[in-house]
Structure 1
Amino acid sequence: MSTTALIYEGDWVSGTSQLDEKFIGYVESMNRSGGLKVRVTQCDREDAVGTSVEAALAKVRKLPDYTPSAPEELKDLIELSLATHDKEWFDELSARLAAPQAAAEQDEEKRYRFTPYQSRLYRIAE
C-alpha cells in the first residue's frame, strides 16, 4: 500500500490500472482523492504503452530509484543532457563518470609508491 507522502509527480511506479491492467510507468499527475495519471512504458496490454492510464494510489507502488553507474549508461545520459542543454545534469553525470577512473588512478599510484623502508638495501652480516 502506498501513501501520498511517498509518491510524487515524476516518480516511477508499478501497479494496476482501473481497467485491471498491470503496468510500469511514471506519474504525470495526482489528484486529491488519491487518483493518479500514469504514463505507461510497459504493460500487459501492449496498446496501453505510450498512453496515460488512471490508477488509484492504493493500487500502485513506487519503484526504487535507479542510479546508472556503467560507463556506457553514463555516456548515453551525458549525450541526453547535452541535447537538452541541461548543464547541471551534465556536470553531475560527468563527475560520476570520472570518479571511478580517478579512484583507479589513485590506487595505481599507491601501488607503485615506495616508502623509505622499501628503498633501502640492507647487508646481512655473515
Structure 2
Amino acid sequence: MSNQPSILKTGDWIKGTLLTGELVIGYIENLDAKGNAVKAKIVTSDNKTIEGKTIPLLNRQIKKIPDTHIKNKEQIQFLIDLALETGDEEWFIELTTKLNSMRELAQGVS
C-alpha cells in the first residue's frame, strides 16, 4: 500500500493498515515536511479506541481512496452524516447544496 508523497494532500481520504495489522479509514489533516508521513483523523478502524483520534501514519502504510462520483440522494445523505460525524462543515455545506439542487431538479421534472 504505497503512494507517491506528491499525490497525497490535506483532506484526502485514505485507508491503510497499522503496523499492528488493524485497518484504518480516515482523512489527512497534515503532511510532514519531508513527505514521508501524514497525520490522519481516523473515522473508522478495527481498533475502536483510535476512532476520532489523529494519528501519524507512514506513506507506505496508506493508500488514497479515489474520489467518488455521487449518483443518488441516498449516497449524498450518507456522506452528509459522515460530514457531520467528522465535523467537516465545508464538506457538509457542499453536500447539502448538492442534495438541495437534486431536489429542485426532481421537483421541476414532476
The answer to whether TM tops 0.5 is: yes
Q: In 1, Cα distance between the equivalents of 2:26 and 2:57?
A: 11
Q: Which has the higher contact order (CA 8 A, sep 6+)?
A: 2
Please name the residue that 2:23 is paired with.
22
Matches within 5 A, 1:43-122: 43-72=45-74, 74=76, 77=80, 89=94, 90-99=96-105, 101=106, 105=109
Q: Would you tell me which structure has more helix in proportion to its own residues?
A: 2
Measured against aligned partners, the alpha-carbon deviations of 1:58-110 in whole angstroms (never above 9, x if no partner) come to: 22111122344433554684xx7xxx599x735444223433x268x2xx8xx
Larger radius of gyration: 1
Aligned residues: percent identity? Answer: 19
- Given the alignment of the two structures, is residue 10 of structure 1 paired with residue 16 of structure 2, yes or no? no
Report the CA distance shift for 1:91/1:41 in structure 2 as closer, same or farther (over 3 A).
closer
TM-score (norm 1): 0.59
Residue 46 of structure 1, CA deviation: 1.2
TM-score scaled by length of structure 2: 0.66
Q: 1:71 to 1:12 in 2, by over 3 A?
A: same
What count of residue pairs does the alignment treat as equivalent? 98
Moved more, 90-99 or 49-58: 90-99
Question: Distance between the aligned counterparts of 1:62 and 1:85, measured in 2?
Answer: 20
The change in CA–CA distance for 1:25 and 1:85 in structure 2 (over 3 A counts) is closer
- Residue ranges of structure 2 left out of the alignment (5+ in a row): none
